[in-house]
Structure 1
Amino acid sequence: MSGRGQLMWDEAVTGYDFGPGHPMDPVRLALTMALVRSFGLDRAPGLSVVAAPAAGESTLRLVHRPDYVDVVRRVSADPLSADGSYGLGTEDDPAFAGMHEVSALIAGQSVGAAEAVWQGVADHAVNFAGGLHHAMPGSASGFCVYNDPALAIARLLELGAERVVYVDVDVHHGDGVQTAFWDDPRVLTISLHEHPRTLFPQTGWPAECGGDGAQGTAVNIAVPAGTGDAGWLRAFHAVVPELVAAFRPQVLVSQHGADSHLADPLAHLAVTVDAQRAVAEACHELAHAYAGGRWVALGGGGYAVVDVVPRTWTHLVALVAGAPVPPEAETPAEWRAEVSRRTGERAPERMTDGTTPSWRPFDDGYDPADRLDQAVLATRKAVFPSHGLLP
């Protein structure tokens, strides 16, 4: 089922560092790559490790306003000049030296992944340092400076793609990507996230369906706080596969924020690494079934930086490589020693949380009094008719 894969990686992406105490600790990237190497995935026959150049000015302007890019450059050179305007210099997005350069580098890896998949250099490509989905055309937001998923999609459109599906399973709404393509019927954005009543950015309601001429191309599945594996997977499978099949994308772009996990400190879902792996497998299968195998996979949020993020994203890299890591596999001793050395914490010993994910298909019937089923039905009623589907 798998073909040639690319892992986009440049050690310099770990310079995306908002400073001590910030949840977006770059050690999560370093530990993920260390786990990938410990399993030998970087040497897998089906995977090439590639570093793309930073996104240049013309690429950044596919999504971001010129005045915003100019300000990012300015505060990157002089962080003390950031005053909160354009979302820079805030608690979420403090300015730091080199901000522009490393943000553009992360964006460049996602754009490079999209180019490789579209041009047939690779069937699948992954940039787990990417997935910075909150950045808006004219401002930083939610730990995100440049919106690399939107830039990757914009590059695909520039290269001639006519239909792209974006699937975002980060616990937070993929608001920046939705905004970038709100009026573009060529892009179907699907976000599965915690309900906006209880979590930043307080958007992503089912009624947000797309602009004029693009009705039904913004899809939001807002699940209640406390949702665990069975409900999360039920919601995903009740909405995503049918819409992907109806839209017939040429490329599938997916964002795999690991912050839906029950141990994540910034959100309120109860999902396991095993369910996150299952959704990555589902995206892989959807890419083969409906997009000719063309799959661009990105990281995203995730703030349990030792216990969750490295395992979830290593599973993602392994799928792209065509060399899945069994959930029951032990984490290599050398990696556990690296975790201890870098963080002083004890590393997880297995690639599983000990669960076997399962869910009840929505078509088997739903409970109108159940909050999860209410959320699913609200989304299906809002967008399915636009695609010729029954709610």
Structure 2
Amino acid sequence: MSDAAPTQHSTAASGAARRPDYQTRVAWSESLCDYDFGPRHPMHPSRLDLTARLCEDLGLFSLPRVSVVEPHVASDDELAAVHTREYIAAVRRASEDPSSSDPARGLGTEDDPAFAGMHEASARIAGGSLEAADAVLDGRAQHAVNFAGGMHHAAADHASGFCIYNDAALAIQRLLDGGIQRVAYIDVDVHHGDGTQGVFWNDPRVLTVSLHESGLSLFPGTGFPHEIGGPDAAGMAVNVALPARTGDGGWLRAFHAVARPRG
């Protein structure tokens, strides 16, 4: 029996033995690149292809704890957990005939031009985030990723800001419907996550936190500190509106002030 202190090697080995076997689920398919508003649109699907290629080149997709699954096209019933049936029908009409777009619902605008197959492409992105939520709910994964998602401007009844179906809101609602009592949504896009905030504006089970450039200088012109949630959920919307050209240091200070990671 030795009283000697454990060696660095044995300590590291012990730590490795205690490390949880986290599984990560990634929703990805080349068909997600079908979400394509056209060659002149700033949100080009090449960004998804490049992200996937980088993951493959770095060996991330082949890691033993990572599984890549093809997302399904979300059904109308799944989409209706957040979106109105009338809006889903309008997206379907514009998808089948882009000339019958509906600008009053945000379809066929400069930001969200209608294109053939738009419903299926948008619903597949939603399906990816629903798959991610399901994987966490049923224990298949500790972490789940859909890097094609983040359509946080879409509202229940209209498109906005390059976003047709709000996959983030759909994933949150899936978690709630699956028995999760509280969900924290942290949005670090430069634009305010107005659509997701709006869906859960009066839901005390969902905390929405958005760090973004001030609406005084950037679309969608919302996300000010006084926006704190509805009467039944006051304080459940947190908005940090940063000045234009905020640097890394200022952004990190703001992030740590409202969403500091544990540990």
Secondary structure of the residue aligned to 1:230 is: helix
Distance in 2 separating the partners of 1:147 and 1:179: 11
- Name the counterpart of 2:60: 41
**CA separation of 1:156/1:83 partners in 2, compared to 1, >3 Å: closer, same or farther?**
closer
Distance in 1 separating the partners of 2:42 and 2:71: 26
Matched, 1:220 2:239: yes
Question: 1:85: how far off?
Answer: 2.1
Matched, 1:139 2:158: yes
RMSD between superposed Cα atoms in Å: 1.0
Q: Which of 22, 25, 32 is the aligned partner of 2:51?
A: 32
Identity of aligned residues (%): 59
Q: Which string of whole-angstrom CA distances, capped at 9 and with x for unpartnered residues, describes residues 333-356 of structure 1?
A: xxxxxxxxxxxxxxxxxxxxxxxx
Matched, 1:231 2:225: no
Q: Which amino acid aligns with 1:149?
A: A
Alignment map for 1:310-349 (pairs within 5 Å): none
Q: Which of 56, 71, 79 is the aligned partner of 1:60?
A: 79
Matched, 1:108 2:113: no
Q: Which string of whole-angstrom CA distances, capped at 9 and with x for unpartnered residues, describes residues 142-185 of structure 1?
A: 00000000000001111111100000000000000000000100
Distance in 2 separating the partners of 1:84 and 1:185: 32
Is the contact made by 2:90 and 2:102 (CA closer than 8 Å) also made in structure 1?
Answer: no
Q: Which amino acid aligns with 1:111?
A: L
Alignment map for 1:126-205 (pairs within 5 Å): 126-205=145-224
Question: 1:86: how far off?
Answer: 0.5
Distance in 1 separating the partners of 2:88 and 2:103: 15
- Is 189-198 or 42-51 further displaced after alignment? 42-51
Q: Which amino acid aligns with 2:73?
A: A
Question: 1:118: how far off?
Answer: 1.3
Q: Which string of whole-angstrom CA distances, capped at 9 and with x for unpartnered residues, describes residues 278-305 of structure 1?
A: xxxx5xxx5xx6xxxxxxxxxxxxxxxx
TM-score, length-normalised on structure 1?
A: 0.61
Secondary structure of the residue aligned to 1:41 is: coil
Question: 1:219: how far off?
Answer: 0.5
Distance in 2 separating the partners of 1:82 and 1:65: 17
Q: How many residue pairs align between the two structures?
A: 244
Matched, 1:70 2:89: yes
Q: Which amino acid aligns with 1:73?
A: R
Question: 1:226: how far off?
Answer: 1.0
Question: 1:119: how far off?
Answer: 1.0
- Is 6-15 or 141-150 further displaced after alignment? 6-15
Matched, 1:20 2:39: yes
Distance in 1 separating the partners of 2:181 and 2:148: 26
Q: Which string of whole-angstrom CA distances, capped at 9 and with x for unpartnered residues, describes residues 324-375 of structure 1?
A: xxxxxxxxxxxxxxxxxxxxxxxxxxxxxxxxxxxxxxxxxxxxxxxxxxxx
- Name the counterpart of 1:10: 29
Higher gyration radius (CA)? 2
Distance in 2 separating the partners of 1:233 and 1:83: 40
Q: Which amino acid aligns with 1:5?
A: T
Secondary structure of the residue aligned to 2:44 is: coil
Is the contact made by 2:183 and 2:207 (CA closer than 8 Å) also made in structure 1?
Answer: yes
Question: 1:52: how far off?
Answer: 2.7
Distance in 1 separating the partners of 2:102 and 2:171: 29
Question: 1:83: how far off?
Answer: 4.2
Runs of 4+ in 1 over 6 A off after TM superposition: none
Is the contact made by 2:187 and 2:210 (CA closer than 8 Å) also made in structure 1?
Answer: yes
Q: Which amino acid aligns with 1:187?
A: V
Distance in 1 separating the partners of 2:36 and 2:174: 26
Alignment map for 1:267-286 (pairs within 5 Å): 282=261, 286=262
Distance in 1 separating the partners of 2:104 and 2:227: 27
Secondary structure of the residue aligned to 1:43 is: coil
Residue ranges of structure 2 left out of the alignment (5+ in a row): 1-18
Secondary structure of the residue aligned to 2:68 is: strand
Distance in 2 separating the partners of 1:97 and 1:85: 19
Higher relative contact order (CA 8 A, sep 6+): 1
- Name the counterpart of 2:5: none
Q: Which of 84, 100, 110 is the aligned partner of 1:81?
A: 100
Secondary structure of the residue aligned to 2:61 is: helix
Secondary structure of the residue aligned to 1:73 is: helix
